[in-house]
Structure 1
Amino acid sequence: MVEEIKKIIIDTDPGIDDAIAIFVALQSPEIEVIGLTTIFGNVHTTLSTRNALHLLEIAGRTDIPVAEGPHVTVTEGVKLQSSGYVHGTDGLGNQNISPPKGKPIEQTAAEFLIQQASLYPGKVTVVALGPLTNMALAIQLDPEFFKKVGQIVVLGGAFAVNGNVSPAAEANIFKDPTAADIVFTSGADVLAVGLNITHQVVLTGVFLHDPTALLAAVNPSLITYSEGVVHVQTVGITKGLTIFYNKQKRVVEVTEWSGKPAVKVAVTVDAPKVIELVMARSSILRSIHMLL
């Protein structure tokens, strides 16, 4: 029996490691990338969209639509600083790249996500490589979205390890913690791939955060996971903290944790295999040399 090709939407804030993940996806025969949606994170949303369009042009895949997300967080309306100190002010290493020829589609990212999940119920996997604002908006706009989407693979969280923007928080969750809490408690099939996993996948000193999450969607056998309830701290010194309750110890009292749907949290990864897959799809690295 031939296994069905998985339909993937990549929600992205490119980002050098996002670029690697996108190139990996486009060279993965197990999946069909049916769209990119953009969000702030490594750079602001407008630049995320520009970079996404540029990467698709490099890959010769301008047939793939790009839908732009909002410029602010889901509830607070906060416009956040980018991570220029990591990815350069343009998100792709300060290469002064020419503007892409393509344009984003007229639909918003959330509208596109809802449309595709409705067209292919249970068949669309969203790989969310940035803050979860677009996912939360889709859930708010369509109460049935969490049932229609196949799975949401989240690059985010720091489970039992320190964060990378504070001792408590990982960057994607920290930048829109309310959105993250909405997604984790929505009832959708969510798989969180956190820093506890991606810090094990290192290529010559570089953590392969985004490619690891992408490949977890492509090949679920690369990771193992535990199931439980996740809440996100939205304010204070621990803003962005992902708290995982694996239900091994039963809490009798009725609390905010009671009756909440479970999500999957990755707990182990086959790091050598992830690196092998990235390297095997070697034209990725040639593309990056072209890009950078």
Structure 2
Amino acid sequence: MTSLIIDTDPGVDDAFAIALACASPEVDLLAVTTVFGNAALDTTTRNALRLLALCGRDDVPVARGADRPLVHPQVHEAELVHGNDGLSGRAHTLPDSGRSPVESDAVGLMAALLRDAPEPVTIVPIGPLTNIAALLAAYPSLRSRIARLVIMGGALSGGNTTAVAEFNLWSDPEAARRVLVEERLPTLLVPTDLTFRCRVDRAWLDRLSAAGPLGATLVGLTADYVAHYTTFFGEECTVLHDAIAVAEAIRPGLLRTTTYPVEVDCTFGPSRGALVADRRTPEIIATFGSTLARAVDIATDTDVDEVRDFLLTRLAG
């Protein structure tokens, strides 16, 4: 049994990620914590509660986290991609959970769960890394209680928000740098380079929609999202970024990794929020050295059909 905490900013792809965790019997979903990102915090928190209600998991606590970045304001949310309610304008199709977030904030809840868990816990941050940076800063003694971080974020060869920056890292570069560069936790980063390759087409969505009410509701949330990625790729499809990270957390080794020294650009030039990875060969790095001190495992390859089949099988029930 894998104990998971999902830190999220739902978000269409976050919806699929949460549903995937709920549909996986080998997962003990300890909590869902929320953060600003795809929409404002009130919206992402409400979406998380309603998504858990959709999945029949009102037993999973939800805690509100950061409503803004650590240092500098977020320039914009992801309304163009996710709609004005984070869910393609379809959040109203989800059941009303009838409950509120727990009294504790996200960092406090994660700390309590880590402290009380019998085994180290996997945390899956699939939004901006503000909550995770705050957790590690406030509770350094709990680092050993984290089995690993499986993070959706970053891009090796071109961003989705700027020319070089992916949305989650771009939304709070200072927090991303704290987590990815300054910490020394077991970390696997799932970048858009790989999640784009795992995109699903209309036939996949239609199969999921036909499988039952859960699948039909999830696919119903994708209208704006599909329209965006159809324009982006020139084919009718969508990208389930965050669900790919949750899939790896559920089935370790599903994604193949390469270890690279990394940095996150926190300057105010055109590369702000970019993931900088030293992709030279180990022999070249050994000879000439690298100015990037922290090495992180980055998901660079997978059996794409296996990932798609895993997601479809679980979400279709």
User: TM-score, structure 1 length as denominator?
Assistant: 0.88
Return the alpha-carbon distance in structure 2 between the equivalents of residues 251 and 175 of structure 1.
33
Residue type of the alignment partner of 1:241? A
Relative to 1, partners in 2 of residues 1:224 and 1:179: Cα closer, same or farther, differing over 3 Å?
Answer: same
Relative to 1, partners in 2 of residues 1:124 and 1:80: Cα closer, same or farther, differing over 3 Å?
Answer: farther
1:167 equivalent among 163, 177, 184: 163
Could you tell me which residue of structure 2 aligns to residue 90 of structure 1? 85
Q: State whether structure 2 residue 180 is matched by structure 1 residue 184.
A: yes
Q: State whether structure 2 residue 240 is matched by structure 1 residue 244.
A: no
After superposition, the CA RMSD in angstroms is 2.0
- 1:232: Cα distance to partner? 0.2
Q: State whether structure 2 residue 312 is matched by structure 1 residue 279.
A: yes
2:152 equivalent among 155, 172, 184: 155
- 1:188: Cα distance to partner? 1.1
Classify the secondary structure of the residue corresponding to 1:24: helix
Return the alpha-carbon distance in structure 2 between the equivalents of residues 81 and 100 of structure 1.
28
Could you tell me which residue of structure 2 aligns to residue 229 of structure 1? 261
Return the alpha-carbon distance in structure 2 between the equivalents of residues 10 and 26 of structure 1.
11
Relative to 1, partners in 2 of residues 1:62 and 1:87: Cα closer, same or farther, differing over 3 Å?
Answer: same
Relative to 1, partners in 2 of residues 1:96 and 1:189: Cα closer, same or farther, differing over 3 Å?
Answer: closer
Number of corresponding residues? 276
Could you tell me which residue of structure 2 aligns to residue 81 of structure 1? 76
Give runs of aligned pairs for residues 1-292 of structure 1, distance below 5 A: 5-76=1-72, 78-95=73-90, 97=92, 100-120=97-117, 123-159=120-156, 161-185=157-181, 186-204=183-201, 205-235=237-267, 236-245=269-278, 248=282, 249-250=284-285, 257=292, 260-283=293-316
- 1:269: Cα distance to partner? 1.6
Return the alpha-carbon distance in structure 2 between the equivalents of residues 27 and 8 of structure 1.
13
Classify the secondary structure of the residue corresponding to 1:221: coil
Relative to 1, partners in 2 of residues 1:55 and 1:80: Cα closer, same or farther, differing over 3 Å?
Answer: farther
Return the alpha-carbon distance in structure 1 between the equivalents of residues 150 and 302 of structure 2.
14
Instruction: Please identify which structure carries the higher helix content.
Output: 2
Could you tell me which residue of structure 2 aligns to residue 287 of structure 1? none
- 1:146: Cα distance to partner? 2.8
Residue type of the alignment partner of 2:285? R
**Is residue 74–residue 172 contact of structure 2 (8 Å, CA) maintained in 1?**
no
- 1:174: Cα distance to partner? 0.3
Unaligned runs of at least 5 residues, structure 2? 202-236
Relative to 1, partners in 2 of residues 1:83 and 1:149: Cα closer, same or farther, differing over 3 Å?
Answer: same
Residue type of the alignment partner of 1:179? A
**Deviates most, 175-184 or 85-94:** 85-94
**Is residue 30–residue 60 contact of structure 2 (8 Å, CA) maintained in 1?**
yes
**Deviates most, 115-124 or 216-225:** 115-124
**Is residue 121–residue 150 contact of structure 1 (8 Å, CA) maintained in 2?**
no
Return the alpha-carbon distance in structure 1 between the equivalents of residues 136 and 254 of structure 2.
28
- 1:261: Cα distance to partner? 4.1
Report % sequence identity: 32
- 1:145: Cα distance to partner? 3.2
**Is residue 44–residue 80 contact of structure 1 (8 Å, CA) maintained in 2?**
no
Return the alpha-carbon distance in structure 2 between the equivalents of residues 241 and 62 of structure 1.
37
